[in-house]
Structure 1
Amino acid sequence: MIEFDESEGRLRLSLEDLLPELGEPSIDPDTQRSLGADAREAYRANSAADPARLDLTIGAEIECHGLRVQIDAILDAVHAGRRGDAVEMLHCAPLSGAAALGSAAVERVGLACLLLQRSGRKVHKGTLTEIALDGTALGRLDVAFAPEVYQRQLERRLERVIAEQRARGGRIQARAELAEALEFPFESPRAGQRTLLNDVAGAASNGLTLLCAAPTGIGKTVAALYPMLREALRADRQLFFATGKVSQQDLALQTLRRLLPPDSPGYAVQITAKHRICPSEELACADGRCPLLEGFRERAQSTGLLEALPREGVVAGARVRETALAAKLCPFELSLALATRATAIVADFNYVFDPGAYLKDLLDEPRRAPLLIVDEAHGLPDRARDYYSPELDFALLDDLAADCRATPGAAYAQAERVLADVCAHGRALAGRLAAERDAPDPWADPPERSFWQELEPAASGALASYAAQRVGERERPPAFRARSAPGDPRPRDPLMDALYRVRDFARFAAGDPDPFAALWRPDRARLLCLDAAPFLRPRFEAFHAAVCMSATLTPAGFYERSLGVEGPRTERLDLASPFPARNRLLLCVPGVDTTYRRRSEDAPVVARIIARSMRVRPGNYLAFFGSYRYRDEVAAHLSPADARVLLQLPGMPAEPILRQLERNRDGSLLVCAVHGGVLSEGVDYPGELAVGVFVVGPGLPAVSPERELVREHYQKHLGAGFEFAYVFPGLSRVVQSAGRAIRTPTDRAPVLLLGQRFAEPLYRERLPGWWRDELIDADDPVPALEAFWSQGPPDAPR
C-alpha cells in the first residue's frame, strides 16, 4: 500500500507498487490470486535443500523530486556467491497460459537487485524463475544486473507514481470540498427522514453500526446515501452500497445521480454480476480463451475509458458493458478497474460478503476502512448461510473421477484420488447411518474431522496441479470444458468447480463444528450453516461504519445477532410509517385457527372472512399464505361470485399478475400468493393495483430436518430456538407481505392479519412498535372496514 504525505515530503511504497502491470487479470483473477501463494510455498518446499535466504525483506531510501522515498521489497530468495549475491524472484504463470517471462517481470528482478545493492550488499546478477501453480519450475532466465540502467528505470517508475499520488491528493482535496458543498437533493426531508439522516451521519463519523427499521415511504435510500457519501468524500473513504435486489441497486444509482453530477471529483460505479455483463453465451474466461482479457490493463489505459467514464458521475453496469464491448475489453474487469478509484460502489451482497466473490483487492487491505450500506438487510443472514453451506453430489464427483481416470496427466490422477476418496468416505458413512437410524434421510451426523483435515491439503494440492495442467493445454479435454450447472447460469470448469467445493467442504468440516450441521444422504452430503454470524462479523468489522436498513428489522435483537453486529458499537433506530394513520387500517382477526393441525378445518371460515371483507369495497386484493397447499384449500371455498381468483404458481414472474391487476375495472380480483415469494417482496402495488391485503397466518417456515437443526442450535446457545428458527423469520415475511399496498402518500388500504396467533404475546410483541400501537382486534372485521372506507380521501403527509 502506497503511503504519500506531501506536507512531510515522504513517500513509502513497495516494489510491487512500482510495477502494477504485473497484476494483469487473466483466466480467473480470484482463482489465480488464491493459488499464487500456495505455488510459492510448494516451490520453496521443493528447494528446501538450497541454502538461500528466503523471503528476505529489505528497504532502501532515496531522494526523488524533493521527496524522501522509502521502497520496501521482499526478495523470494538470495543466493550467496563468490562474485556477490544472486537475487531470485518468482513469477507464477498466469492461468491463461500467457508467457510470464515478460519485460515487467524482468524489470522487477533488476529493480530487486538494485534495492539489495543500495542496502549495502554486493550483487552479481538476478534470476527470474517462472513457476506453475503446483510449484514446478517452468523456466529460468538470468538477468544481467546493470545498476545504471535500473537506476534510470527506477526513477521513471517513481516519477509516474509521484505524479499519480499528487493527482490523487488533488482529488482528495476536491472531494473534501465537494463534501462541504453537498446539499440534500430534495427540498426538505420527509417525516422520519430527518431522524434517519442525523443518525446515519452520527454513525458514519463515529464509526458505528446502525440497525434501522424504516417502513416504506421514509425515503431511506437517500437518507442513508447522503450522509454516508458526505463522510466518504470528506474522509477519503470508499462507500459500498450492497443489496440483494437489482431494483434497489437501480434506486441507489438514481439517487447517486442527484448527488454526483457529471465532472464531479467523486464518482460511483455499479458492479454487475459477471454472468450478466459478459457478452458471451458462456464465460470464455473459465476456459482461458477470452480475447477481451488479453493485455487488458495496457489496452484499458490506452482507450482513455478509465479517465472518461468517471467524468460521467455515475457509471451503471449497462454503461460499462456498452463502452467495454466497443473497445473490445472485458466489461467485468473494466468495472473492477473503475471501482479502484470510485467514491461509491453499488453491488450485490455477493461482492461484499460471499467468501468466493467479494472484492478482495478493495476490502482486504483498503487504504482507509470503507463505509457500508446494507439495503434489504433482512435478507442477508439467509443469503450468508447459503455462502457457507457447501454441498457434494457423489454421482457428479464419480463421473468426474471417471473422466479423470480416462485422461492422461498427473494432475488428473491427483484429482481422481481426491474425488474418489470423498465419494467412498461419504457413501460409507451414509450406509452406516442408514443401517443405524430408524428414520429417512437426510441423517445429521458430525463429520469425521480427522478425515477432512487430511483431505483439505490434498484438495488444495489437486486444485493447484490442475490449474498448472491447464496452462500447458492447448485445448481443454471435452469432459472438462466450461459448462453451466442446474440452477447456476455461470459456465464453470466442472473439475475446478468440484475441487473447490470439496476443498471448501473439507475446510469447514475440519474447523469449528459449532455453526454447522452435516447432513448425509446416499447420493450427496451437505454441510449446513446454521448460523452465519461468525462469518459476517469480521466482514462488518472491516468497515469503519455500517448502516443496515430494511422495512423488516424487527425484533432488532434477532437481526443484531443474526448479522453478527451485536455489541456496544451498534445502535438501533425503529421508525414509524411516515404516512398518516387514517390512510391505513391494521386489523387482527383472531377467531380463526391457522395452525397446521386446524387450518384445514378453518379454511372455509378464512374464505368467508376474505369474501365478506372484499364486498365492503370491491377492487384488487392480495392474500398471502404460508404454503401453496394451504392457499389452495382456502381458495377452493371462494366462489366466482366472491371474486375472480388468480393463483401464483411456483416460479411465476410478477409481470402477468400485475397486468391482470391493471386491467381489472369491474368487481373484485384476489391474488392468492405465498409469503416470501416474488409477489410478497420487491413488488409494489400502489393506487388501485391493490386496495387491501390479507395475511393468513404468521408465515412460519415449514418444519424440516434442516430447520429443526437451526432451532436446536439457537436453543442450545440462546434458549430461544423456536423464536429464531420459526417466529422471527415468519414475522419478517408478514411485515414484507403487509407492506405491499401502501407505497405512496395517497395509497389507502386495510391490512388484515388472520389467525389467533397474531393475538398471542409470542407473536404480537415481536411486531413493529407502530403496528402494535395501531392494531385492532376484531373477530368480525366488516364494521371496522365499513367505517374505514366511509372516510374521505386519504391524507397526504406533511
Structure 2
Amino acid sequence: MSETVKISVRNLVEFILREGDIDQRRTAGADKEQMQLGARIHRKIQRQMGSDYHAEVPLKMEVLCEGFTLCLEGRADGIIKREDEIVIDEIKGVLRELKYIEEPVAVHLAQAKCYAYMYASQNHLEEIRIQMTYCQMETEEIKRFLQTFSIEELKTWMEDVIKRYEKWAKFQMEWRKVSRESIRQIQFPYAYREGQKELAMSVYRTILRKKKLFIQAPTGIGKTMATVFPAVKAVGEGLGDKLFYLTAKTITRTVAEQAFQTLKKQKLRYKVITLTAKEKICFCEEAVCNPEACPYAKGHYDRVNDAVFDLLTATDDMSRSNIEEYARKHEVCPFEMSLDVALWVDAVICDYNYVFDPNAHLRRFFSEGGKEDYLFLIDEAHNLVERAREMYSAALYKEEFLTAKRLVKGMDRKLTRKLEICNQQFLVLKRECESYREYTSVGHIAVSLMNLMAELERFLEETEAEEVREQLLELYFHVRAFLNIYDILDEHYVIYTELETDDSFLLKLFCVNPAVNLQEYLSRGNSTIFFSATMLPIRYYKKLLSVEKEDYAVYVSSPFQKERRKLFVGTDVSTKYTRRTGQMYERFASYIAAALQAKKGNYIAFFPSYRFLEEVYEKFQRYQTEDVICIVQEQSMDEEKREAFLQAFDQDRSESLIGFCVMGGIFSEGIDLTEERLIGAFLVGTGLPQVCNEREILKKYFDRHGENGFSYAYLYPGMNKVLQAAGRVIRTAEDRGVILLLDERFLERQYQEVFPREWDDYEIGTLKTAEKSMMKFWDQEM
C-alpha cells in the first residue's frame, strides 16, 4: 500500500506558482484575503446566487505518483450547475478599486483551475467554465471574469503543477520514513529525576488521547526534556506529525534547541528550525522589504524554492547560520526563506505569535481550515494569558486620524473627507469620556473605518509621495488590524474608550478572556501541552487558555530537599500605598542588610516598581560598605547592559553582590543563576499590578461572570511574578538559598492559596528575628 501525502489546493498553487519580488509597499494581495471581513462577503454573494448555485463544495482528488499517492483537497466557493454548463466560482473580497483589477490574479485563477479539473475529471466533463468573482468590500461592487477550459487543457496544466510538486512530496515521504525509524531507536537520555518519568508518561498519554495537559512543575525537574522526548516518541508512533515548541523568551528557545541536540546524539534524524525575528536575521541595515531597497527581495519568489530544497536535501542542520548561508547562496530573504523551511521540518521552535497572532501567524500552516497532526508544546505558559490578550485586542487613537487628515489635506479630497468623518466620530466619543467608558457596540465606527480602508487602499496605489505613503501605511495596518478584531467580537470582549494622561484618546477592543480565540488555532492540532514552573492556580489558567472541560492537569512536586532552602515571611513590612513611608523603606533596606550579614554572597531584591526600588536603594546606601557591591536595573536596558548585569553574578569576588530589580521585569524570570551565583532573593510585596483602568475593567468583567474579579485582575498575575522571582534561587539539587517574602499580606488566606505545596514550611518572623534565622540556616551542615 503506497503512502499518502496530503496538500490543500491553495497551498499547492501558492507554493509552486509564486513568482516575483517581495514588496510590502503593496497593500493589496494575500494578506488582505486573511481578513475575516472577506468571509462575510463570500457568504453574502453565495446567498444571492440562486438555486443552481452550490456553495462551499468540498473536493478531493488522489493522484498516483512514483511510490506514493498525492491527496489534493480543497473547497470550491461555488459550483453553478446548469443543464448546459458547469461553472466553478472563485470569490475574492478586495479593498482596492475594481478598476485596478484588469485580469484575475494568477494564483487565484490557478486555485480555480485546480477545482475545475478535479470536478470535471470526476464527472467526466469535456469542458468546464471558471468564473473569477472579485467583490469590492466597501461598495460590494462585483467584477467577474469568465473563461472556458477543455478537460485536456486543464489536465495538461494540472499534470505540470503536480510534476513540479512531486519532488517535494517525495522528499517529505522519504524523510518521514528515515526520521521515524530513527525515533524508534532513541531512549530517554538521562536517569529520570524524581517526578520526571511520571511527567513524561503524562505527556505521552495526553497526546495519545488527543487532549490538552496543564503542567505545574518546578524548575530543575527537567520539564523541557520531559515534554520534548515523549512528543518526539509520539510522532514516531504516528500520533502527530509536526511539533511546535512555543515560548515567550529567547533563553527557553535555547533550552529547547539543546534538548533536540541531546536526542540527536543518539542518532535521531530530526530537522528542527528556530525562527528568528525579521529584524535580527535581515541582511540589510534596516528591514525594508521591497526590491528597490533590498536586493534579496528582488526576484525572491523566483529563487526561494530552489534555496529551500537545496538546504533540506544537503543537511539536517536548520540552524540560523545555515539558513543565512543558503539564503546568500541563492540571493533570497533569509527571514522569508526560514518560514518556508518551517513547512518541511519536523519541529519548529518559535515565539507564541507565529502560531496565535492573527496578524503575524504562519499562514502557511494556519490560514487553511481543517485539522492537521500538529503537537503544541507551550513553555512558560503562564505568559500566554497576557500575550494572548494583547494579540486579540486592537486599539485606535483619535490622534492618528487627525494627523493623517492634516497630511493629505490638499492632496486628496475624498480621503480627507473619510479621515474627517472618523476623527469626528472619535471626537464625539471623547466628549462622552471622563476617564474611561465601556460600550456595547461601535458598529457605526466600524462602517466608517471600512469606508476609510477603501480610500486608503486607492490612495496608496496611486500616490508617488513616498514619505506620505509610509506614514499612511502605518494607519492602514492599524485600521485593518482593528477591523479584523472587530469581526470576531463576542462576549469575551469589552469595548471601551479611555482618555489618557497626555490627553490622547483611545478606542480599544479588549480581549478579556482569550481562550476561544486560542482554540481557533489549537483545534488545528492533535494535542497541546501547557507547562510552567508557575501555573497556580491551575483553574485560572485553564479558564483563560482553554475552552475544554476535560483537560488534564498535573502537579509535580519539587524534587529538591526542603532543607536546602529557607523560606521566611516578614510580617512587619507592607507595600500597601498607605504604608509607604521613609520608615518602611528603611525597614526593607534593613532586611537586605540582615541577610548580607548572615551570609556573604550574591542576592537579588525584587521590588514592585522602579520608584519603590529607588526609595529602598537610597535607604540602603548607609549599609553599603566596601564589602558590598550594588547593581541596579535600569528602565529600558539594551542587550549589552542586560548581559553586563547578569555577568556580574558570574564573577568570583570577596564581596557580597546585591542586585536591585523590578518584579516581573527582565531579571525575574528566565535567568539561570545556579549554585553560588545566587543564594538569596527578597520578594518585596505581592507583585500586584498597579491599579489602572484596564485592570479595573478586568476586575468588573470577572465579577459580572461569577468569578473573583480581584483575584483574576490582580492577585493571580501578581503572585505569578512572586513565584517566578522566587524560582531564581533554587535551580539544581546542589543549590542552597534563602527566599524572603516581605509583606504582611503573604499570610492572608487568598495569597497562601496560591503558594506551591512545597512552601508549607515557611517561617514567620520580623526584622528582629530575620538575621538570626538565616544564620541558623546557613550554619546547618549539608
TM-score category (smaller protein): 0.7 to 0.9
- 1:377 correspondence with 2:377: no
Of 566, 579, 582, which aligns to 2:560? 579
Greater alpha carbon shift after TM alignment, 577-586 vs 455-464? 455-464
Q: Is the Cα–Cα contact under 8 Å of residues 695 and 753 in structure 1 kept in the other structure?
A: yes
Q: Deviations over 1:65-111 (max 9, x none)?
A: 697988877386869899x778776789999x999768877777776
Which residue of the partner structure matches residue 424 of structure 1?
Answer: 424
Query: How far has the Cα of 1:462 moved from its partner?
Result: 4.2
2:342 alignment partner AA: A
> Is the deviation greater in 237-246 or in 424-433?
424-433
Most deviating of 156-165 and 398-407: 156-165
Instruction: Report the Cα distance in structure 1 between the residues aligned to 2:611 and 2:6, rounded to whole angstroms.
Output: 68
Shift of 1:58: 8.9
Alignment partner of 1:781 out of 753, 770, 781: 770
Query: Normalising by structure 2, what TM-score?
Result: 0.84
Asked whether 1:512 is paired with 2:490, we answer yes
Relative to the length of structure 1, the TM-score reads 0.82
Residue 545 (structure 1) aligned to one of 510, 523, 527:
527
Shift of 1:572: 1.9
Query: Following TM superposition, by how much is the alpha carbon of 1:243 offset from its aligned partner in structure 2, in angstroms?
Result: 0.6
Cα displacement (A) at 1:709? 2.0
C-alpha offsets along residues 540-576 of structure 1, whole Å, 9 cap, x if unaligned? 34432111111111222222223235622x2222223
Deviation at 1:295, TM superposition (A): 4.7
Q: Secondary structure at the match of 2:615?
A: helix
Matching residue's letter, 1:353: F
Residue in 2 that maps onto 1:351: 354
State the secondary structure of the residue aligned to 1:503.
Answer: helix
Q: Does 1:21 align with 2:16?
A: yes
CA distance in 1, matches of 2:375, 2:82: 48
Sort the Cα spacing of 1:388 and 1:154 in 2 relative to 1 into closer, same or farther, 3 A.
closer
Deviations 1:263-285 (A, max 9, x none): 96541212222333333344433
Letter in 1 for 2:775: E
| Alignment partner of 1:650 is 2:630 | no
Report the equivalent of 2:34.
34
In the comparison of the two structures, how many residue pairs are matched? 755
In structure 2, what is the equivalent of residue 433 of structure 1? 433
Question: SS of the residue aligned with 1:585?
Answer: strand
Give the corresponding residue for 2:735. 747
1:525 is matched by which residue type in structure 2? L
Question: 1:567 aligned to 542, 549, 556, which one?
Answer: 549
Q: Give the letter aligned to residue 769 of structure 1.
A: R
Distance 1:43 1:532, change over 3 A: closer
Deviations 1:673-693 (A, max 9, x none): 221111212223333332221
Write the mapping of 1:142-541 to structure 2, written as runs, cut at 5 A.
145=149, 147-159=151-163, 165=169, 168-184=172-188, 186-235=189-238, 236-260=240-264, 266-285=270-289, 292-303=296-307, 305-309=308-312, 312-363=315-366, 364-365=368-369, 368-408=372-412, 413=414, 416-434=416-434, 441=435, 443-447=436-440, 449=441, 452-460=442-450, 462-463=452-453, 466-467=456-457, 470=460, 475=464, 477-481=466-470, 493-504=473-484, 506-507=486-487, 511-512=489-490, 514-521=492-499, 523-527=504-508, 528-541=510-523
In the other structure, the counterpart of 2:587 is 605
Q: CA deviation at 1:344?
A: 1.0
Q: Which amino acid in structure 2 is aligned with residue 74 of structure 1? A: A
> What CA distance in whole angstroms lies between the structure 2 residues aligned with 1:692 and 1:242?
30
In 2, Cα distance between the equivalents of 1:788 and 1:164?
A: 63
Contact 1:392 1:525 in 2 (8 A): yes
Q: Measure the CA separation in 2 of the matches of 1:48 and 1:717.
A: 40
Is this contact kept in 2: 1:455–1:506, CA < 8 A?
no
1:403 alignment partner, SS class: helix
Residue 729 of structure 1 pairs with residue 717 of structure 2: yes
Worse-matched range after superposition: 647-656 or 97-106: 97-106
Query: For 1:743, what is the secondary structure of its paired residue?
Result: coil
Confirm or deny: 8 A CA contact 1:27 1:94 kept in the other structure.
Answer: no
The worse-fitting range, judged by mean Cα deviation, of 110-119 and 712-721 is 110-119
2:707, 2:105 → 1: CA distance? 61
1:320 maps to amino acid: I
Counterpart pick for 2:687 among 690, 699, 705: 699
Q: Residue 654 of structure 1 aligns to a residue in which SS?
A: helix
Per the alignment, do residues 644 and 370 of structure 1 end up closer, same or farther by CA in structure 2, a change over 3 Å counting?
same
Distance 2:86 2:558 in 1: 73
Instruction: Give 1:157 shift.
Output: 4.1
Indicate the residue corresponding to 1:486 in structure 2. none
CA 314–201 in structure 1, closer or farther in 2 if over 3 Å, else same: farther
Taking the aligned partners of 2:71 and 2:160, their CA distance within structure 1 comes to 14
CA distance, structure 2, for counterparts of residue 616 and residue 23 of structure 1: 68
Q: Determine helix, strand or coil for the equivalent of 2:215.
A: strand
Preserved CA contact (<8 Å) 1:133 1:467: no
**CA 1:54 to 1:36, structure 2 compared with 1: closer, same or farther past 3 Å?**
farther
* Shift in alpha-carbon separation, 1:596–1:101, aligned structure 2, 3 A: closer
* 1:778 to 1:22, Cα distance in 2 relative to 1, 3 A: same
For 2:493 and 2:746, how far apart are their aligned partners in 1? 31
Matches of 2:109 and 2:557, distance apart in 1:
63
Contact 2:186–2:268, Cα closer than 8 Å, also in 1: no
Q: How far is the alpha carbon of 1:252 from its aligned partner?
A: 1.0
Moved more, 749-758 or 654-663: 654-663
Amino acid paired to 1:788: F
Distance 2:694 2:292 in 1: 39
Q: Write out per-residue CA displacement over residues 311-364 of structure 1, whole angstroms, 9 at most, x where no aligned residue.
A: 543423453234223321122221221121222111101112212112233135
Q: What amino acid does structure 1 have at the position aligned with 2:222?
A: G
Q: 1:686 aligns with which of 663, 667, 674?
A: 674
**Which residue identity is paired with 1:194?**
K
Deviation, structure 1 residue 21: 2.8
Q: Deviations over 1:131-183 (max 9, x none)?
A: 8888888996967x455444334444445556655554444443432332222
Q: Against the structure 1 CA distance between its residues 518 and 30, is the aligned structure 2 distance closer, same or farther, given a 3 Å change threshold?
A: farther
CA distance in 1: counterparts of 2:361 and 2:594, whole angstroms? 51
Q: Deviations over 1:234-273 (max 9, x none)?
A: 3242111111001111221121122347996541212222
Change (3 A) 1:175 1:39: same
Q: Which one of 592, 598, 603 corresponds to residue 616 of structure 1? A: 598
The structure-2 alpha-carbon separation of the partners of 1:710 and 1:277, relative to structure 1 and needing over 3 Å to count, comes to same
Gaps of 5+ in 1: 435-440, 483-491
Judge which range, 596-605 or 248-257, deviates more: 596-605
Pairwise CA distance, 1:224? 0.8
Select between 624-633 and 529-538 the one with higher mean Cα deviation: 529-538
Q: 1:503 to 1:740 in 2, by over 3 A?
A: same
SS at match of 1:481: helix
- Distance of aligned partners of 1:604 and 1:429 in 2 relative to their CA distance in 1, 3 Å threshold: same
